[in-house]
Amino acid sequence: MSTANRFNFHTTNVRQTQSLAKKIAKLLLPGDVLLLQGPLGAGKTTFTQGLAKGMNIKSEVTSPTFILLAQHEPSSNNLALFHADLYRLTDPTEVMELHLEEQASDGVLIVEWPDRAPEMLPKDHLLISIALQKIDHNARTFTFVSAGERAREIVDGLQSQL
């Protein structure tokens, strides 16, 4: 049964953020899409690193300087991770050339800076917004908003574990 399609979760250090991401990793299926929103330094790449660990991916997840899409192969019997970072996107139509949905259909797609090209991204997705706090520099608030049935299942699965 579905509960709410939106909820918040707080972390106070990198380890907690990565542990949250690892929990999500265990819930993912081929074709799932995560959109990671938040300002520079919010923790989008840090979260993605935790997700990759949880997906048993051995290659390093970094902040790409020029590459818009990095593909991380799974070790065995796991899903590939497609990590897009649209920060440097100048023209939203460039995203079309990446064929994100098609490329990632056998794996998981995670997108940093989805707000650079909102119209070009899959309609069914789990939106994860990360907010910083003024007082505690290591505190982050994660807000999960699901769009579509799969994203809702992920949110339900996550909430039942937290």
- Least Å distance, CB 20 to ligand ADP, is 9
| DSSP state letters, 99-115 | THHHHGGGSEEEEE-GG
Under rule CB under 5 A, which residues in 36-55 are in contact with Mg ion?
A: 44-45
Q: Within 13 Å and on the Cβ side, how many CA atoms surround 6?
A: 3
Q: Round to whole Å and give the CA distance between 112 and 103.
A: 17
Residue 83's binding partner among ligand ADP, Mg ion, none (Cβ under 5 to 8 angstroms by kind) is: none
The answer to whether residue 62 forms part of the interface with ligand ADP (CB under 6 A) is no
Question: Which lies closer to Mg ion via its Cβ, residue 39 or residue 118?
Answer: 39
Nearest to 70 by CA among 49, 50, 91: 49
Q: Which residue has its beta carbon closest to ligand ADP?
A: 43
Please, which of residues 77-96 interact with ligand ADP by CB under 6 A?
none
* Separation of alpha carbons 132 and 139, rounded Å: 6
Give the residue with the Cβ less far from ligand ADP, 46 or 146. 46
